[in-house]
Amino acid sequence: MLQHSLNDILVRAIHGVVPSREDAIQILALKDSASFQLVMAAAQKMRNQFFSDRLFLYGFIYLSTYCRNHCTFCFYRKTNKQSPRYRKSLEEVVEIACELANSGVHLVDLTLGEDPMIHDTGNFHILSQIIKLVKEKTGLPVMISPGAVPEEILHQFAAIKTDWYALYQETHNSILFKKLRIGQSFEGRNHKRNAARRAGMLVEDGILLGAGETLSDCADSIMAMRQNNADQVRAMSLVPQIQTPLRNMSGPSRTLECLCIAVMRLTMPDRLIPASLDVDGIKGLKMRLEAGANVITSIIPPKNRLAGVSQSSMDIEQGLRSVPEVKKIVADMGLRIANGNSYKSWMAARKEK
């Protein structure tokens, strides 16, 4: 009976009937391998309907690891003395961005903590200068992930043609949010994304798995991201970090992350959904693509002393989080890397919506 019900959900989804919240919970609760494979196959079919076999690549630059916040899950929370701290100079960021562009990525993701040197002093012009130069020197779209910034700063970013604003909610359960993002505003983060969209930028939202949420919370987050019309949506598994309140958490099964990716694909078939290299490194790429992801994120060039987010060093200096290594896996799966114009065309069409 359950299998027949699952088949109905998947067939309806492929024919354009969006799975309900209850459908999503049912899928997320699956345990048996046969049902899991059915969901993965449906998600891949849905991705192919909207994107064919094309995948997009994002280069990643963590330009400052200083942060004023106390997020309970984050390696770079203010009080963690074990995390590596650095601020990359304008020249360094531009050089790394050009290296990423030459390697074949479609976008440069500029990420930083809520660096007190910028957030507490209002020196957001530093970020604007970096964005302008990276766009000028690479010719690529730019995503900025600077945390929650004032609305007028979002308009400044939009005015210099910043393409994306990423701000993850982590959970759309307001009670759990308060436990994860201590002292931060649940509604405020929603407001920032909406403001960025009104200013003309595309917006990314995301959820964290294994941090105390229920399956219902996961489904609610997916439905919220759909309702809020996020342009890119992601789910990432918690990697417990030393000197953080969640250091003793076991972390979620990767099956749950894959099921979340698949449900996002079935409910938001036209969106960009990342397969991140930041949780399991290059070895975790295939299963996330099999779940329906169509963007490969956290590509980091070696020899630049850059850190990752969930995994600060995994696969970076070995050169495994690079475009050549990604291409090997993509080719083995019968998929292909899209060209840059294809990505820019998708962005333009999405902005028209």
pLDDT band at residue 247, thresholds of 50, 70 and 90?
Answer: very high
- Give the pair of three-digit tokens for residue 310: 């969930």
Q: Which contiguous run of DSSP H or E holds residue 259?
A: helix 254-267
- Number of structural domains the chain divides into: 1
Cα 136 to Cα 155: distance, rounded to the nearest angstrom? 19
- Res 121 pLDDT > 70: yes
Task: List, in sequence order, every residue forming a beta bridge with 191; answer none if it has no partner.
Answer: none
> What pLDDT, on the 0 to 100 scale, is given for residue 353?
82
Angle among Cα 352, 200, 224 to the nearest 5 degrees reads 80
- Res 197 pLDDT > 90: yes
CATH number at residue 117: 3.20.20.70
Residue 101 φ then ψ, to 5°: -60, -45
Structural domain range at position 128: 2-352
> What pLDDT, on the 0 to 100 scale, is given for residue 4?
54
Find the range with the poorest average confidence among 157-166, 204-213, 250-259, 281-290.
250-259
Q: Which residue has the tokens 């995301």?
A: 206
Average pLDDT score over residue span 144-148: 98
Task: List, in sequence order, every residue forming a beta bridge with 75; answer none if it has no partner.
Answer: none
- Give the pair of three-digit tokens for residue 136: 């000028």
Instruction: Single out the residue of 126, 144, 115 nearest to residue 89, CA to CA.
Output: 126
Each residue of 154-190: pLDDT tens digit? 999 999 999 999 999 999 999 999 999 999 999 999 9
Residues 6+ apart with CB under 8 A from 291: 40, 43, 257, 258, 259, 261, 262, 265, 275
